[in-house]
Every structure is written in structure tokens, then in C-alpha cells.
Amino acid sequence: MGKWSEIRVEGHLCEAFEPAQRMDSGDVLVYLHGADLDRLVDQPAFETAFDKHGVKVLAPQTGRSWWTDKIFPEFDQELTAERHVLEKILPWIASNWGAVPPQIGLLGTGMGGQGALRFAFKYPDTFPVVAALSPEIDYQSCWNEGDETLPQMYCDAEAVRQDTATLHIHPLYWPRNIWFCCDPEDCRWLDSSQRLQMKLGALGIPHQCNLEPHTGSGLDPHSNKVEVAMEFLAKRLDQERQRII
């Protein structure tokens, strides 16, 4: 198996994964974590998939920032999570791992899933390939549930809604490779994935979406969705690379 390490990018912690054997393509993934702040090193399904596909992964840690372009003081007093990814993480990858867009794919879970989708919708040339697992898209719902982080970044729930991934879709300017999934049992977030699916379909934007029940084996019922996401990312990153040759 590959190996994990911890690095600092501009003083902020990141998890880094290097596979036992890297693919010749040199593709890299940026992984955006969820609101539970679970570490990738503790999730074997991801490690197995990353190693199988021979891809390097950098996973910045930004707390419950929701990956916004709003200052979240618990992360940084001057730098937003979005700017951190664009202005610090991507240059670090270019300098240390030799990968630049479109060699860099986005993968996220939960809070990070909606962040990955929003990044891709806002910057489709930078992130033409994105996959999201159980994205928490309409996170304005957290406002009325006593969430203590959102009021640090937004004035009200409507301001949150206006910043969601779905509201950042441009009908003529979108990422070419979109994949997301949400289990029907995840009733809190299923509706927003369905709304995203309907909007993409109405605009004629190509995408792949899986809203069927998760299946898997052992203690990790989501393991098959992780592998499906990785298959999508690997295939589409390869297609993007061929576009620029």
C-alpha cells in the first residue's frame, strides 16, 4: 500500500497520500473533507482506491469552513478556504508534484462534496473533473439548527442559499465531467442532490448521478461508491489530458 504523511502548506495542515506505484499520467486529486472532520488515513476504502489507481492525493484541513470564499476565523483570519485551495494548494501541487490543471481532480464528501461541486461550477477550467459523495448541497438548512459556524461567515440563511453549488451553475460555462451520489436513506441531503440533478438536466449539462441505495461489504457500506467515484475520476482525467495533447 501507499503511504500517508502530514505536511503544512502556508502553515495549514494537509494529509498527503503517495501510492505504492504512481500511474504515468501524474494525475493528482484534491480531497475536500466533510463537516465531521474525519481524516482520510482512517478510511480504508479511500486508501485502497487511491492506491489501486496510483494517484497522489492532497487533503487540506480547513475545519467547518464549508469550503467557502468567506473568512472563517477558526481556519484563518485573512485567508478563505476557497482561496487557500486556489492560491496555496494548487501552486504547492505544481511545485512539488508537477501537476497543473486539468491534471487535478476534485473529490469531496458531505460538506466537502458540496465544496467540490461549487469549486467546479465556479472554476470549470481549473476543475473540469469533479466527484462528490453525499454532498451537503443545501447547507442553509443548518442555519436554523443552531450551527455555530455559518453565522461567522454569512448574515442569514438566504445568504447561505445564494452561495450553494446549485446557485453557482452557469448555463453556458460548466465543468465537463460531473459525478455525484447520495443514498436515499440520507433523507436530510437527498432532496438537494435531486434538485441539482434536475437543474443540470434542464440546462442540458452532461453529468452522472447515482441516487440509489449504497451497497458494500463488511463494515464499510460505502466502499463501492468510493471505487465508482475513483473510476470516474481516473477515466475523465485521462480524457482531459488527451484533450490538451
In CATH, what number is assigned to the domain containing residue 65?
A: 3.40.50.1820
Question: What pLDDT does 85 receive?
Answer: 98
What is the percent of the chain with per-residue pLDDT over 70, rounded to a whole number?
Answer: 95
Q: Supply φ then ψ for residue 192, to 5 degrees.
A: -70, -30
Query: How many folded domains does the chain comprise?
Result: 1
- The neighbour count for residue 116, using CB atoms within 10 Å, is 29
Q: What is the mean pLDDT of the chain?
A: 93
When pLDDT is cut at 50, 70 and 90, the band that residue 244 belongs to is low
pLDDT tens-digit series, residues 57-86: 999 999 999 999 999 999 999 999 999 999
Domain that holds residue 62: 3-243
pLDDT tens-digit series, residues 38-52: 899 999 999 999 999
CA-CA distance, 138 to 145, in Å (whole number)?
13
Sheet with 28-32, strands from edge to edge, namely 3-9, 12-18, 56-60, 28-32, 104-109, 129-133, 177-181, 208-210
pLDDT surpasses 60 at 229: yes
pLDDT surpasses 50 at 89: yes
pLDDT surpasses 60 at 154: yes
Segment 101-113 shows an average pLDDT of 96
When pLDDT is cut at 50, 70 and 90, the band that residue 245 belongs to is low
When pLDDT is cut at 50, 70 and 90, the band that residue 147 belongs to is confident
pLDDT surpasses 60 at 15: yes
The answer, as to whether pTM is greater than 0.85, is: yes
Residues in the chain: 245
Cell 465543468: give the residue: 175
Question: What pLDDT does 213 receive?
Answer: 78
SS (H, E, C) 147-170: CCCHHHCCCCHHHHHCCCHHHHCE
pLDDT tens-digit series, residues 182-226: 988 877 899 999 999 999 999 999 999 999 876 554 444 456 799
pLDDT surpasses 50 at 140: yes
